[in-house]
Amino acid sequence: MMLVYEGKAKRVYRTEDAAYRIEYKDEVTAGNGEKHDYMTGKGRLNNLISSGIFEYMKKHGIDSHYIERISETEQLVKPLDIIPLEVVVRNYAAGSIVKRLGLKTHQVMSPPLVEFFYKEDALGDPLLTDDHIAMLNLASVAEVAHLKEQALKINEVLKEMMEEMGLSLIDFKIEFGKDRDGVIMLADEISPDTCRIVDMESKENFDKDVYRNSTGSLIDTYSAFYKKMEALI
Ligand code: C5P
């Protein structure tokens, strides 16, 4: 088994049959690595949640790199070349857009807003316009249009899933990759690490903001999220 990539929260290995094995680590970071902690059980929770979300997506017509969950902390996925773009969809304002544009937190984004960020830690993942993406040769004009369309489709399915759990989807980040035939597919992970999700009534956070803002236990928060998800799937 060969290690092909190690990120802040995951390791990716190539298996003998050319699939990739993703191992979710017991690590959490925020602010581009400024805040960093080890948390026993975090990898398991992210893997269980992300697997459940990818399975829900599949049932609702959204293909992804996910093949199957092979252990408490690992998934088998299709090998893709990751497009170095972080695609963010926002239903309500929160986080960086509040600071950047002076919006009110939880102000409605109607229609949902799609943003692209350059996946480049050394540059602090800057916001990109369509023209930046073309200039940097990261994706063609047609591919950018396709990514936007897919991101909005994924938003509809994820929003519905969260609503069925009594939760409201504020925003999320996804990544895409290309397979050997150039087909673009949803990749990486979808979990409370990559989404902002709040209780519909109390507005309590069920996501990494509890760690970013030091307002609660990340493990307790993700466990509570997983319990709600288990009741649904
Ligand atoms: O920081 P910002 O407000 O732009 O984040 C928007 C959404 O994207 C949040 O749900 C956040 O968790 C997610 N995100 C992420 N990875 C990053 C940046 C943002 O998962 N590197």
**Is 224 part of any domain?**
no
Chosen domain end from 34, 53, 77: 77
| Full-model pTM | 0.98
Ligand 1 centroid to Cα of residue 171, in Å, is 8
**pLDDT of 125:** 96
Co-location of 47 and 129 in the same domain: no
Quote the crossing angle between the two packed helices 218-232 and 42-59, to the nearest 10°: 30
What per-residue string of b and e applies to 151-171 under the rule 16 or more CB within 10 Å gives b? Answer: beebbebbbebbeebebbbbb
Q: Which residues pair with 217 in a beta bridge?
A: none
**pLDDT of 33:** 85
Co-location of 63 and 107 in the same domain: no
> Rounded to an integer, what distance in angstroms lies between the CA atom of residue 10 and that of residue 189?
10
pLDDT tens, position by position, for the chain (233 residues)?
899 999 999 999 999 888 999 999 999 999 988 999 999 999 999 999 999 999 999 999 999 999 999 999 999 999 999 999 999 999 999 999 999 999 999 999 999 999 999 999 999 999 999 999 999 999 999 999 999 999 999 999 999 999 999 999 999 999 999 999 999 999 999 999 999 999 999 999 999 999 999 999 999 999 999 999 999 98
| CA-based nearest residue to 164, from 221, 228, 111 | 228
> What's the complex ipTM?
0.99
| CA-based nearest residue to 210, from 228, 227, 229, 223 | 223
**pLDDT of 44:** 98
Indicate which atom in ligand 1 lies nearest the CA of residue 32. Answer: 21
**pLDDT of 104:** 98
**pLDDT of 124:** 94
**pLDDT of 17:** 86
With left for phi above 0 and alpha for psi between -120 and 50, is residue 224 left, alpha or beta?
alpha
Domain count, the chain: 2
Q: Which of 173, 191, 212 to mutate to test the pocket of ligand 1 (most atoms within 8 A of CB)?
A: 173
Q: Which of 34, 35, 46, 88 to mutate to test the pocket of ligand 1 (most atoms within 8 A of CB)?
A: 88
Co-location of 33 and 53 in the same domain: yes
> 188 by DSSP, 3-state: which?
coil
Cα 205 to Cα 143, 153, 169, 210, distances in angstroms: 33, 24, 10, 7
Ligand 1 centroid to Cα of residue 201, in Å, is 23
Range of the structural domain that residue 9 is part of:
2-77
- For ligand 1, atom 8, name the residue with the nearest CA: 173
**pLDDT of 233:** 82
**pLDDT of 155:** 98
**Is 223 part of any domain?**
no
**pLDDT of 49:** 98
**Is 232 part of any domain?**
no
**pLDDT of 186:** 98
**Is 206 part of any domain?**
yes
| CATH code of the domain in which 95 resides | 3.30.470.20
Co-location of 59 and 104 in the same domain: no
